[in-house]
Amino acid sequence: MLARVGVEAVDELFADVPEQVRFMGALGLPGPMSEVDLVRHLRDLSAANVPATQLVSFAGAGIYDHHVPSVVDHILRRPEFFTAYTPYQPEVSQGTLQAIYEYQTMICELTGMDASNASMYDGATAFVEAALMACRVLRRSSVVVAGTAHPEWLETLETYAASGLVEVRVEESHDGVCDPERMRALCDETTAALLVSSPNFFGNLEDLAGLGAVAREAGALFVVAANPIMLGVMAPPADFGADIVVGEGQPLGGSMSFGGPGLGFFACREAHIRQMPGRLVGRTVDADGNDAFVLTLSTREQHIRREKATSNICSNHALNALAAGAYLAAVGAEGMIGIARACVAKAHYLRDALLATGRFKAPWNHPFAHEFALVYEGDASQMHDEMLSRGYLAGVLLEAPDGRDLVLFAVTEKRTRSEIDAFVEEVASL
Asked if 203 contacts 369 with a C-beta cutoff of 8 angstroms, the reply is yes
pLDDT band at residue 79 under the 50/70/90 scheme: confident
Architecture per CATH, domain 52-66+333-428, reads as Alpha-Beta Complex (3.90)
pTM to 2 decimals?
Answer: 0.90
How far apart (Å, rounded) are the C-alpha atoms in residues 244 and 137? 12
From the list 250, 302, 248, the residue with the least C-alpha distance to 279 is: 302
From the list 131, 128, 101, 129, the residue with the least C-alpha distance to 116 is: 101
The CATH code belonging to domain 70-327 is 3.40.640.10
pLDDT at 305 over 90: no
Asked if 116 contacts 266 with a C-beta cutoff of 8 angstroms, the reply is yes
pLDDT band at residue 337 under the 50/70/90 scheme: very high
Domain boundaries, the chain: 52-66+333-428, 70-327
Q: Alpha helix (H) ranges present in 112-142?
A: 123-138
- pLDDT score at 267: 98
pLDDT at 299 over 80: no
Percent of the residues in the chain that have a pLDDT greater than 90, as a whole number: 73
Burial class of 349 by CB neighbour count within 10 A (0 to 12, 13 to 18, 19+): middle
Digit-coded pLDDT (tens) for 3-39? 898 888 888 888 899 988 988 888 888 889 999 999 9
Q: Select the more confidently predicted residue: 88 or 103.
A: 103
